[in-house]
Structure formats: structure tokens, C-alpha cells
Chains A and B, each alone.
Chain A
Amino acid sequence: MIRLITCILMTLSLGACSSASVKPWERGNLAKSSMTFGYDSMIDSTDDHIYFSKEATSGGRSFGAGGCGCN
């Protein structure tokens, strides 16, 4: 467990250091709505709820979906 968390934190640190070069005026494409995580959150939440109901594992992009006694 400690190894897993250490590994994740190292990965996160590497990610944080990987690019500081994108300037505000270079963000035209990044500013597109389709480049935003969670842009279509209603589709995401609908899919997550279905998968939560039909599969044994959930979560990932956010908290695990839940709140139902789904069959």
C-alpha cells in the first residue's frame, strides 16, 4: 500500500515537472470545451451510473458513483 502511494506521488511529481512551457497565449486549443475533462458531465454521470449498476467496480475520474440499490 505504501509502495503504491509512493509510486503514484512520484508519477504525479514527474507529471508536474514535465511541462511548464505552455504560455497563456498558446492555449487556444486547450480552451476548447471538448478539451476540458468533464465537458459533458451529464453523459459521464449517466454512463457511470449504468456501469455502477452492472459491474462490480466504479469510480476513477471522480468519486465512485453510488447511491442506489441497483439491480
Chain B
Amino acid sequence: MQLKNSNKIALAAAGLLGAVNTAQVSAADWDHEASVLYYGESDGRVQDGSIKYKGKRTNDDDNVLTLNLGIDTLTGSSPSGIAPSGDVQVVATPSGGSTTTYQANKLTLDDTFLDTRVDLGASWDQSILDENTRLNVGASLSKEYDYLHLGVSGGVSRELNNNNTTLSLGLAYSADTIEAVGNTPVPLADISAAKGSSDESKDTLDFVVGVTQVLSKNSILQLNYGLTQADGYLNDPYKRISRVDSSGKIVQNLNESRPGDRLGHNIYGALKHNFSDNVLSTSARLHTDDFGIDSVTLDTKYNINLGNRRSIEPHIRYYHQTAADFYAPQLDATAPIPEFASADYRLAEFDAYTLGATYRFGGRKGREWRVTGELYSQNPKREKLTASQAGLDANPGFDALLLSIGVKF
């Protein structure tokens, strides 16, 4: 059943307001957390500055209200999808209002990227039926210049086996609206062609079932299965793909085209083990979906207690994904245009690595501070272009730096 947009907004607002009204607000019972974040990619690509806040109130009945607020400011440039060429290229910008010039032999970056994103969330968690069964409901909203997200979620969990086992079940629905600058490009039309509608929509349904199991006095395990179904406009309205002839000449640039639905499955396992004063946290995730993308993620953190309310936690993560069935760095101009095609670097085959650490220390009045630094590196599989484009790379990958300072109070 499709809800009309006005109903979706009302539903989300009711969730937010209802959760707030239910709580008997008392400042003394709140736990707060705030952070500032810088994220910056190499070669002048995306730069992000953000602030986040989370407030959590637990009342005498062990009911928990959680509120979240985040503000991101993004700027920089993002790969356009247009193939690199030995020639200077002058093409229409995604908004269609002007042109941009791509230098010869360079990655084609769209530098018109500038946005501010605000996100809000609220959730309410309480016991139902008995003290071992809990219900959680939540709502979320985020807004950018060209994107609106509204979401609701709900879940139940039950503790069994002398609280050694927790079973959980969750469902989330989000309704997003995409209002591309200059209207929505028509898939696989020339980038200079007339645009389509002023907005498009995307609906996403998430289902998660899981179990958390105490294995011993020092070990705890979590296993989850998740299913995600997305329907609607799944394109990136600012990504293009080039048709290139055998001489390496770009014959035409098209708007990308992706299928209108996507079904994905996740299996996730996480283990925590206490070694004396230190804690190992490790997880693995397997993913598959009908875009043809399979991925594996391995993540490990090791929290080392330094004493005197100080700890350091190194973090390492490995990620690998295969390419989407319809991913191509460029199209052969002599071949028929396929039904679906995208040169979006995020749909390519690549490995990614994260290496970082979080240092935590106790402050005055029981505050807990942390400083996090991480390096992220994305290394795509090198795709072959035409002989005339030898030495050019449509997707060279990038490195990113993440710095964050946070405090719990």
C-alpha cells in the first residue's frame, strides 16, 4: 500500500511528537552526547563538516526516550561519470543552467556540489507484557536542498534463558523524495535533452531479525539477518555515462539508468570478548542483492584500558564489493544502448580499508571525552578503456580522513 506524501509526513510528525509528549521530561535524568566531525577526501573531492547531538532519558520505569539531531555541511566535487578523454570537454551541468569544462586527461569531477543536511530522529523504548519484552518505535526525518527523507521504525525484543538470550525483530519504512536541481534527468537521454518531472520518490522497507547470545562470562555474540527492498527512483540524478567510439572519442553523454527496484540480503555476526581489562569487538557482514552486488565486510576494534579512565581503541576494517551488473566506466558507441547503465564509482568493484583509533579519557563531572581519527582508502579494480585512452583511469579511487571529537555528559 502506498501512502500519500502528506500522510507520510503526518505519520512521522505524530511519531516524533507522540514520543516527546509521552516522556515526563526531567533534566536530571538525561544522558547527553555531542560530537563534531570533519570528513575530507583527497583531490578536492567531498568535504564534510558536521555536528551531532544525542539525548537519552531513562525514567523510573526503565522507559527510554532518545532524540538525535545532526547537521552536515558538504562541499567539494564528485565524479560525474563522464569518461576521461584526451580532449577538453565542455558539457552541460546537471542543473542544465550552465556548462562546465573538463580538462584533457583528467578525472571529470562535478564541482557544483554544495549542500546542507539536517537530520532529526526520535525513538521510544519500553517494556510491554512483562519485564522481559520490550517495544521500540522511532521516527526520522532528514532534509537537504534536493532530498527529503521521512522514516518510521518499530521493533520488539525478548529476553530468554535467564537473560542470556535476546531475540529481536524490527521493521522500518522510509519514504524519500528526490527533487533534482533543474528537474529530473530522463534516463539514458542525452544530458542536454529536456528534463523530466520536478520530483521523484523512493520507498524502502527494511526487516531485521536477530539474536544476541551470552556465550560465557567474557563473551557475547550477535547474529542478524536483514532484508531491504527499495522501489522507485534509484538513480543518482547527477551521474552520467559516456558513449565512446573505438578511437577514444566521446560520441555522446547520457544520463545514467538503474532498475526501479532492488532487493538485498545481509547476514551479520558480531562477537565481543573481554580479555582481562581489554575488549575485542569484531564483526563480519555478507551482502547480496539483485543489482548483482555482493560484498563482504570485516571489522575489528580492540579497546585497551590504560587506567585512570583512559583507553585507546585501534580500529581496522576491510570491505570488498563486486560491481553492479549494469556498471560500466563507459559504453561502446558502436553497440546498442543497454536498458540499464551507470558509471557511478560506488557501483564498481573495489576494496576499501579503514584504519584508525579512538582515544577516550574521563573529564570533570563524570564527562567522557573521545578523539577519533580514521583513514579510509577506496581502491577500485582498474577497468580497461579504449586503446586511445591508455593511461587514463575512469575510477582511480580516493583516500579520506575522518577526525571527530565527542563527549558524553
Is B274 a contact of A57 with CB atoms below 8 Å? no
For B74, B165, B352, the residue with the greatest tally of chain A CB atoms inside 10 Å of its CB is B165
- Given A15-B221, A54-B346, A55-B295, verify A23-B162 contact (CB < 8 Å): yes
A-B contact count (CB 8 A): 184
Q: Do A46 and B272 have beta carbons less than 8 Å apart?
A: no
Q: Which residue of B lies closest to A62 (CB)?
A: B208
The yes or no answer to B256 lying at the interface (CB within 8 A) is: no
By a CB distance below 8 angstroms, the chain B residues around A63 are 153, 170, 172, 206, 208, 226
Residues of B close to A42: CB separation below 8 A: 33, 35, 52, 54, 406
Residues in B neighbouring A55, C-beta threshold 8 A: 295, 319, 321, 346, 352
Return chain B residues, CB-CB under 8 Å to A51.
Answer: 319
> What is the CB-to-nearest-CB distance from A5 to chain B, in angstroms, rounded to a whole number?
7
Task: Kindly report which residue of chain A lies nearest to residue B228, judged by CB atoms.
Answer: A64
A69 touches B178 (CB 8 A): yes
- Using known A-B contacts A35-B272, A35-B274, determine if residue A68 contacts B266 with beta carbons closer than 8 Å: no
Enumerate chain A residues within 8 angstroms of B119, measured Cβ to Cβ: 67
Q: Mark B273-298, 1 if CB is under 8 A from A, else 0.
A: 01000010101010101010101010
How near does chain A come to B168, taking the closest CB pair, in angstroms? 10
Q: Which of B17-25, B98-106, B210-218 lies at the interface? A: B210-218
Q: Is B340 an interface residue (CB 8 A)?
A: no
Interface string of A16-53 (1 = CB under 8 A from B): 10111011101111101011010011110111001100
User: What class of interface size applies to chain A in its complex with B?
Assistant: 35 or more
**Contacts of B354 on A, CB cut-off 8 Å?**
47
- Contacts A30-B220, A46-B52 hold; do A71 and B78 have CB atoms under 8 A apart? yes
Q: How far is the CB of A70 from chain B (nearest CB, A)?
A: 8
Indicate if B29 sits at the interface (CB-CB under 8 A).
Answer: no
CB contacts (< 8 Å) of B352 on chain A: these are: 54-55
The CA of A68 and the CA of B144, in the complex, are separated in Å by 8
Chain A residue at minimal CB-CB distance from B378? A54
Which 5 pairs across A and B sit closest by C-beta, in order of nearness?
A67-B149, A60-B268, A69-B147, A71-B78, A60-B285
